[in-house]
Each structure stands twice: as structure tokens, then as C-alpha cells.
Amino acid sequence: MQTIHLCRRTFVGLALCMSSLTALAQTVLHLGIAPHTSARVILEMYQPLRVHLEKALGVPVEVVTAPDFTEFAKRMLHQDYDIAVTTGHQARLAQTDGEYSPLVTYSADFRAVALVAGSSKFKTAKDLISKPVLGLSPTSLVTLWGQHWMKKNGNPDALRYVSASDSVARLILSGEAVAGFTSLANYQSLNRELQAQVRFLAISEPMAGRVYMLNKRQAARKDPIEAALAGFAGSTEGRAYFDKYMLEGYRKLKSKELEAMEPYAREVRASLQ
């Protein structure tokens, strides 16, 4: 009788173990995308990658974002994302404060730009003093760069914030703002009609752009995830994705590339305290 009970307990224990392993294998992989544009555009933009990762990794993949960059940083540090895709300053914060590790970034240069209407007479940061200028959120890289650019060039004004970069050009052209900061990639994603109606007032040096950061809890999956990303880059869908958004492809980060973003990461860290 004792032997029967022991066998039964062993069987139950094995069943529970197998159940746990099955549940782990079926866990949803959360792909967190920083809110560089509207949620609708983000879901559309990352759909091909989501589908590819699901097939390659054999787990459900969910694309998620946040209302703004500050909230995204909070959720990222709260470990809400298995893979976080965000600009270099928040990627650095994820590395130092959240124990995420870098996977890849895009090959195309990442730059911030200041946009004004094509017919605008504004030529300098000082021309914008006491006038409405837009940023994406206080902790967005393009916003932080823009704020630094304005102060460095004699304009101490604060920015107004909008939730999506595709709103910046429209608000400038409607007269609700005289200038706004966005990324070069997001400018290039505007339709040609909108692009033709705005011009650059300033453009930044290249900075670490959107970086794929892996959560420490997914460390065991690093090799399969890197292989899946490489497979996506070489696929028909991947090449179409890179061409459409002018991203060129994936590349590994250069030595000290994230470390160079520490001054901006420090500002985000301070804002979260």
C-alpha cells in the first residue's frame, strides 16, 4: 500500500512538473515598443516581426507600448517587457538599471530633427522664443536633444508635449505650433505631401537609435531570439519592412555606443525619481 501511495505521489509530482514546463513554453513573449508614434502605427509597423518571431520561437508574441516615453521607461524598469525596443538613452537605462542586455539596433543613422513649416521665416532657436514648440514627452530622446539644442542656442523656453510624432508636422502646419522635434525616421515616414510642406531648422549628429534590449529573464533564449531576428532580416517580409521604414537592416552595437548615451539616460533616471 505504501508503495502504491509513493508511486501515486511521484506520478502527481511529474504531472505537475510537466504542466509547469508546458505553461513556461507557452508563455507570451512581450515585445515592448517605445511610443515613437501612435499605437495604431506601431502595431502595424511591427506586425511582420511579431509574426516571424512567433513562428521562429514557437511562442505567442504580443506587441505592446505605453502612453508616452516616461511611462514606457517605468514599465521597462518594472520588467514588463521581454524585449524592449527603445532609443539609445532608454536602452542605456535598461542596461544599467534594469539588467537588460543589447541585441541589435538598426543600421540606418538615428537623428533628431527640428521641423518648421516650409514657409516659415524662422532660422534660429532664438526666433522660437515665447512661441509654442513641440516635443514628444519629457523623456523622449528627440525631446531631450531638442531642449539641449534650444538652450545651447539661447532659447530657455520649455516645450509642449504631444503623444505621437505623426502629430508634430500636422500641428505645425495647422498653426498650433511653430516648430517641433521628431526623429529623422519618423519624418521620413510622413506622406510626401506633408514632407513637402515642412523643412528642417536643425538636425542632430547620429545617436544610438532604437535598440532591441533583452530582459534578463529571457537570457536562456538569447541565441534563439538573435537567430530569429537574423532570420527576419533575411526574409522577404523583413527586407520589405526595412525598405518601407528606411532602416536598412540590423547591426550589432558599436563599442561604447550605449555608454555614450549616459548623459541623456541620467536625465531620464532623475525624472523617474
* The predicted structure's pLDDT at residue 119: 95
Position 144 pLDDT exceeds 90: yes
* The predicted structure's pLDDT at residue 8: 45
Domain regions of the chain by residue span: 26-109+208-272, 112-203
- Contact between 111 and 205 under an 8 Å Cβ cutoff? The reply is yes
Using pLDDT thresholds of 50, 70 and 90, give the confidence band for residue 140: very high
| pLDDT tens digits for range 166-202 | 689 999 999 999 999 999 988 998 889 999 999 999 9
CATH architecture of 26-109+208-272: 3-Layer(aba) Sandwich (3.40)
Contact residues for 24 (Cβ-Cβ < 8 A; gap 6+):
none
* The predicted structure's pLDDT at residue 124: 97
Q: What is the rounded average pLDDT of the residues 135-162?
A: 94
Position 66 pLDDT exceeds 90: yes
Using CB atoms within 10 Å of the CB of residue 7, give its burial: 0 to 12 exposed, 13 to 18 middle, 19+ buried: exposed
User: What is the maximum span of the chain, computed from C-alpha positions, in angstroms?
Assistant: 93
Q: What is the rounded average pLDDT of the residues 25-41?
A: 87
- Contact between 215 and 81 under an 8 Å Cβ cutoff? The reply is yes
Question: Measured in whole angstroms, how far is the alpha carbon of residue 239 from the centre of its chain?
Answer: 20
Q: What is the rounded average pLDDT of the residues 62-71?
A: 95
* The predicted structure's pLDDT at residue 21: 40
Q: What is the rounded average pLDDT of the residues 217-222?
A: 96
Position 22 pLDDT exceeds 50: no
* The predicted structure's pLDDT at residue 146: 97
Q: What is the rounded average pLDDT of the residues 41-53?
A: 96
Mean pLDDT (the chain, rounded): 90
Position 235 pLDDT exceeds 80: yes
With CA atoms as reference, report the closest residue to 196 among 187, 204, 205, 207. 187
* CA-based end-to-end distance of the chain: 62
What percent of the chain is predicted at pLDDT more than 70? 89
What three-state secondary structure class fits 200? strand
Q: What is the rounded average pLDDT of the residues 140-151?
A: 96
CB-side neighbour CA atoms (13 Å) of 91: 28
Judge whether 26-109+208-272 and 112-203 match in fold: yes
Fold assignment, 112-203: D-Maltodextrin-Binding Protein; domain 2 (3.40.190)
Strands 211-214 and 83-86: antiparallel
What percent of the chain is predicted at pLDDT more than 90? 82
Q: What is the rounded average pLDDT of the residues 151-159?
A: 96
What three-state secondary structure class fits 66? coil
Task: Tell me which residue has cell 507557452.
Answer: 26
Question: Measured in whole angstroms, how far is the alpha carbon of residue 75 from the centre of its chain?
Answer: 13
**Could you count the other beta carbons within 10 Å of the beta carbon of residue 144?**
26
* The predicted structure's pLDDT at residue 137: 86
* The predicted structure's pLDDT at residue 42: 94
Position 4 pLDDT exceeds 90: no
